Structure 1
Amino acid sequence: MTKVVLNVKGMSCGHCVNSVEGAVKNLGAAAKVDLAAGSVAVEFDENAVTLETIKEAIEDQGYDVVS
Structure 2
Amino acid sequence: MQETTVKVEGMNCGKCAKKVEGALEAIGAEGQVNLEEHTVNVKYDPAKLGISDIKDSIEAKGYHVVL
Q: Please tell me the TM-score bracket, short chain as reference.
A: over 0.9
The reply to whether residue 3 of structure 1 matches residue 17 of structure 2 is no
C-alpha offsets along residues 17-51 of structure 1, whole Å, 9 cap, x if unaligned? 01000000011110000000000000000111111
User: Cα distance, 1:64 vs. partner?
Assistant: 0.5
**TM-score, structure 2 as length reference:** 0.96
Unaligned runs of 5+ in 1: none
2:52 and 2:66 map into 1 onto residues whose CA distance is: 12
Q: Which residue of 2 aligns with 1:41?
A: 41
User: Runs of 5+ in structure 2 lacking a partner?
Assistant: none
Q: Distance in 2 between matches of 1:29 and 1:65?
A: 16
